[in-house]
Amino acid sequence: MQIEVVIQECAFKAVRSSGAGGQHVNKVSSKIELTFDVKNSKGLSAVEKFRIQKKIPSKLTKDGLLLLQCSESRSQHKNKELVIKRFVVLLKSGIVIPKKRIKTKIPKSVIRKRLKNKNLRAQLKQNRKKPNLD
C-alpha cells in the first residue's frame, strides 16, 4: 500500500457540524467528510482492495466508497488531520493478514497438576460435610 498515493486519492468536504452550539457553529463548516473510492484506487493492489471490502463492509457504500467523518475539534484543519489518521489506521487494519493459530498440545504435567488440585479441592469439600454415623 502506498500511503501518499492513497491519501492524494481521497476527497475532502467541509460541512457544518451537527448538534448544539452558538453563533459560531451556525456559520462555520468545521466537520470534515473523507471519501475514498476503494475499487478505483491506484495506491492499493487488487488483493488489498478485496481484503478491505471483506473486512470493513460497514464503512463502505454500495458503490465501494469509504466514508469517514470527523467533527471532534472546532478547527477544520485539526479535523482533517484526525480523519486522515483514522483513515490510515483503518486501511492498515483492513489489510493485515491474521496469523494462523497453531494448536499446541497441553503438557502431561499440566494435566496432572490440574487433576491433583481438583482432587484436593474435592477432598476439602468432603471433609466439611457432617460425618455419617451409620
Per-domain residue ranges for the chain?
A: 3-95
The total of other beta-carbon atoms located within 10 Å of residue 118's CB is 10
Query: pTM of this prediction?
Result: 0.65
List of residues 6+ apart from 12 with CB closer than 8 A: 32, 33, 34, 35, 80, 83
Domain topology for 3-95: Double Stranded RNA Binding Domain (3.30.160)
Q: Which residues pair with 26 in a beta bridge?
A: none
Render each residue's pLDDT in the chain as its tens digit; 134 residues: 678 888 888 888 888 777 666 666 666 778 888 888 888 888 888 888 888 888 888 888 888 888 888 888 778 888 888 989 998 898 888 888 888 999 999 999 999 999 999 999 999 999 999 888 87
- CA–CA dist 82, 76 (Å, integer): 10
CA 27 – CA 72 distance, rounded (Å): 17
